[in-house]
Amino acid sequence: MLRLALSAVTAVVLGLALAPAGLAQEAKKDAPDLTKTPAMMSDVKAAEKAATDGVAAATTVAHKQADIAWMLVSTAFVMLMMPGLALFYGGMARRKNVLGTMMHTMVALALVGVQWVVVGYALAFGAPLITTSISSDDKGEPIKGGVVGFSKELVLLPWTSTVPATEEEVAKDNPGLTGEDLTKATAERNRFNSFPNTNLPLYLHAMFQGMFAIITVALVSGAFAERVKFGAYLAFALLWTTIVYDPLAHMVWSFDWSPANKVPVNGADGTTIFPAAGLLGVNGAIDFAGGTVVHIAAGFSGLAAVLLLRRRVGYGKQTFHPNSMVLTLLGAGLLWFGWFGFNGGSALYANGQAASAFTVTQIAAAAAGLSWTLTEWLLKGKPTALGLASGIVAGLVAITPASGFVAPGGALVIGLVAGAACYGAVLLKGVLGYDDSLDAFGVHGVGGLIGAILTGVFVSLPLWAWGAEMPKGAFPGKTDFADNVVTYNMSAQLMWQVKASLISAVYAFVATGVIVLLIDKTIGFTVTTKDETIGLDLSQHGEVGFDYGGGGLEESTGAMLPEPKAAMTPPNGPLSKRFTVTVEGADPAALTKVWTAMCQPGESPPSPSFKAVYPYFTTMTGNKFRFRGGDPVALRNELQKLLSAALKTPVKTTVES
């Protein structure tokens, strides 16, 4: 009974408590919703649309600002690669050439930096000036693309090409234009404000690509390092960038700037993009960051130059030791760092593709450095610092054309293959006898070729579409489109990767050969053997990279000064009393002749006796050799041994105070 009573009381209490809420609900149902009355609905929808549009606009602005920020940083990264390359090459050169070698890289920042602003960008990314066709479409119509471009609006990068014009300004210049025609005319007038298919202002894209032009000709200089005139190199750099680099950049990376020429994207209704304009780009050859334009061009240009120019004095008969592996390793590290901007920045957006390119750059460099080191260790018995540094660069070179298209697994394979293959290519120069001073062809030519071709093997279309935030139909390479589905065509892509690589290699090789011959036959490309023996630092620039004081031989190369030192020149070693060694048993004229010959540049390194005597030698008169410093008895004995061998007859030497 008690339970029943409690249940009844509880029911009454709950009913009283819930009744107001129920009444309120009923009242709410009966009350009119002012937001859903015909008078208010249009305002609500307008507010919702405005809010949505505002969010979209804010997102677009944020994306643009992020893209600009990333590309500013990437441009600075690539610029830092120039001192990195200078250190990398400078450490590999001999001590007497370290400054001259580094100057070849650093001066490109100034020379090509000016050329690019004046006319280079207009030639590389302007509207096609010369077009041709090397293929046809499904209907048999020729597919035409530009070989070189030119747009007067890009010469000197004027402000009128980067600052948008308003419809009012366009209308003033074109009386009678109104409505849609005025809108189209304004869009056409502003076509150069930003690079096609990107958020990048004209100036930012020009500066980013300008760094590529600068470093490419600097890469070429490594092939003929230690033997060319500085003035001749400047002429070469200017001509090569204009005749070789700019057209290749146009063939691969240029786009149509005109909004009127945008094309629809397969499988994405309503989406249009600016189409490729260059000869290789319109045919579907892909090069994300410069496998063909930068590395194949630099490597094969270097090969052409070294086949036409003389070899360094003593090449093949002397061992040329690098002067500082510390500089080379530091340079390799800076190159690796800068390459994140080189490849990651080539996405031209702050998006997943930039992150993907960044990732595979790290993987390929690590894999190639390991591959080269292990291969060298296996074949030579010791892993070297030069091998590790070279392997790292080989991996960076090979992943460059693939970096925006391949997944980490593909990058790993590309790096492993490139490290071992480029090591073999460097060994090959000793067999074939060409003098590629700092392995420009072995690393950049071969590495670029491997990377460009393997790009076609390891392309991941889903990864590209995700990273680029674009429909698959916008992929710049070879695809098939059927039943509204876009798929990657590997066989067609591979064919065009090979074609593009060969076209780039042949064009760069032939054009460079013509440029080198032109310079060599007019002002001369290489220095004299005397200047080469002294070293480019002193003969070309009148200064030295490392001033350790004193003079004498550069023992690492066996090089010597071409003339005897003056008596006033302090020799190496501690300063001490002067003494004279008299030579008996030989005609003074014969002594002068053989001694002069020994002091001249030669293909073979000097003998140990000459190295022992020369640092203390000051002057010679008749049969008397004057010395300052050193052990008189030891020097007398070495001089006697040296002259007896040179004259092929015994001589006697005595020491006088």
510: which residues sit within 8 A by CB, 6+ positions away? 304
What is the signed CA dihedral for 598, 553, 227, 234, rounded to 10 degrees? -130
Tokens of 202: 């004209």
User: At 276, is the secondary structure helix, strand, or coil?
Assistant: strand
| Partner residues linked to 128 by β-bridges | 149
Q: What CA–CA distance (Å, rounded) separates 471 from 131?
A: 29
Q: What CA–CA distance (Å, rounded) separates 75 from 70?
A: 9
Block means of pLDDT (10 residues each) for the chain, 657 residues, are 43 43 46 51 58 65 94 98 98 96 98 98 98 94 97 97 95 90 95 96 98 98 98 98 98 97 91 97 98 98 98 91 96 98 98 98 98 97 97 98 98 98 96 96 98 98 96 96 94 98 98 98 96 95 82 42 44 64 91 86 81 89 89 91 91 88
Confirm whether 53-151+192-315+324-532 and 560-656 share one CATH topology: no
Tokens of 604: 């073979």
Q: Quick one: three-class SS letters along 524-590?
A: CCECCHHHHHHCHHHHHHCCCCCCCCCCCCECCCCECCCCCCCCCCCCCCCCCCEEEEEEECCCHHH
Q: What is the pLDDT of residue 576?
A: 59
Instruction: Confirm if 474 and 349 have CB atoms less than 8 A apart.
Output: no
- The answer for 314, left when phi > 0, alpha when psi is -120 to 50, beta otherwise, is left
Q: Where are the domains of the chain?
A: 53-151+192-315+324-532, 560-656
Which fold would CATH assign to domain 560-656? Alpha-Beta Plaits (3.30.70)
Q: What is the pLDDT of residue 268?
A: 85
Q: What is the pLDDT of residue 571?
A: 45
- Burial of 14 from C-beta contacts in 10 A (0-12 / 13-18 / 19+): exposed
pTM of this prediction? 0.83
Q: What CA–CA distance (Å, rounded) separates 246 from 303?
A: 19
User: At 234, is the secondary structure helix, strand, or coil?
Assistant: helix
- Going from the C-alpha of 36 to that of each of 46, 172, 426, the distances in angstroms are 13, 47, 78
Q: Give residue 238's Cα distance to chain centre.
A: 17
- The angle at the Cα of 288, spanning 282 to 291, to the nearest 5 degrees, equals 95
Q: What CA–CA distance (Å, rounded) separates 392 from 387?
A: 9
User: At 40, is the secondary structure helix, strand, or coil?
Assistant: helix
Instruction: Confirm if 187 and 259 have CB atoms less than 8 A apart.
Output: yes
User: At 132, is the secondary structure helix, strand, or coil?
Assistant: strand
Which CATH architecture fits 53-151+192-315+324-532? Orthogonal Bundle (1.10)
Q: What CA–CA distance (Å, rounded) separates 467 from 347?
A: 9
Half-sphere exposure of 495 (CA within 13 A, CB side): 8
- DSSP-assigned letters across all residues of 159-176: HHHHSPPPHHHHHHHSTT
Instruction: Confirm if 209 and 249 have CB atoms less than 8 A apart.
Output: yes
| pLDDT tens by residue, 400-417 | 999 999 999 999 999 999
Instruction: Confirm if 363 and 408 have CB atoms less than 8 A apart.
Output: yes
Q: What is the pLDDT of residue 54?
A: 62
Q: Quick one: three-class SS letters along 352-374?
A: HHHHHHHHHHHHHHHHHHHHHHH
Nearest to 459 by CA among 394, 398, 419, 403: 403
